[in-house]
Amino acid sequence: DIVMTQTPLSLSVTPGQPASISCKSSESLLHTDGKTYFYWYLQKPGQSPQLLIYEVSKRLSGVPERFSGSGSGTDFTLKVSRVEAEDVGVYYCMQNTQLPWTFGQGTEVEIK
Amino acid sequence: EVQLVQSGAEVKKPGESLRISCQASGYMFTAYWIGWVRQLPGKGLEWMGIVYSGDSDATYSPSFQGHVTFSVDKSINTAYLQWSSLKASDTAMYYCARLGGYCVNGVCYKIGFDYWGPGTLVTVSS
């Protein structure tokens, strides 16, 4: 199984400041079809997860531009340019390049 | 508007059977896969598997293979997750989610779980 390792596991951010979360996979997530099936999800407190980013860097429709994804192969990053109060929650990376699909352990983001 | 409505919370005893549901609306149900995700109390997300709503073709995570079964009733746009014999360790929140996608020149790609249900809390206790 591909292991997804997120760092840090928790993050405390001042509103308006940037935040960055790393996710490393134990194997390359580049699929034979040329796509990299890597995602970022946010689970806000008491809510279901929501998809933020797909294929490493593509924002789902409606996701604010302050969220951006980057990376390739085994190293990926989610950046929030200016954190807002509504961004609190647990961020998960996920891959479905290879079965079984796997999530990272989650990064909890809180506001200072 | 795409919606996934899940059945209500359940309290069961070990060894009992259970089927929970996920009813979809607002899109062509049979054209998409539905995924199931488990979240143990206070823990992270675990992928259980996916089922194609068009023909019930299913892929299970090895961690759940043989312990759960996915099914679909196309006539009512509903996917199901069922257990024949629950364990206390099955106590968790279970989410269904639609596997979104797009097609370019006849080739289709997945975009991840773009719509999620609210979750069904399953409690198994003697």
pLDDT in tens, A17-28: 999 999 999 999
Q: Which amino acid is at B20?
A: I
Q: What pairing do the DSSP bridges indicate for beta strands A107-111 and A10-13?
A: parallel
CB–CB contact A48 B114 (8 Å):
no
- The token duo for B126 is 């003697």
Instruction: Give the pLDDT confidence score for residue A55 in this predicted structure.
Output: 95
Of the candidates B32, B33, B10, the residue with the CA atom closest to the CA atom of residue B21 = B10
Tell me the shortest Cα–Cα distance from B59 to chain A, in angstroms: 9
pLDDT in tens, B32-53: 999 999 999 999 999 999 999 9
- The token duo for B8 is 């209500």
Locus of tokens 């909890």: A108
Instruction: Give the pLDDT confidence score for residue B28 in this predicted structure.
Output: 95
CB–CB contact A96 B119 (8 Å):
no
Q: Nearest CB to B59: which of A39, A99, A102?
A: A99
Measured CA to CA in angstroms, residue A25 lies from B30, B46, B113 at distances of 32, 16, 19
Instruction: Give the pLDDT confidence score for residue A107 in this predicted structure.
Output: 98
CA distance A93 to A106: 7
- The residues, any chain, with a CB within 8 Å of residue B113's CB and separated by 6 or more, are A39, A41, A49, A51, B35, B37, B97, B98, B99, B100
> Does A101 touch chain B if contact means CB atoms closer than 8 Å?
yes
Percentage of residues in chain A having pLDDT higher than 90: 99
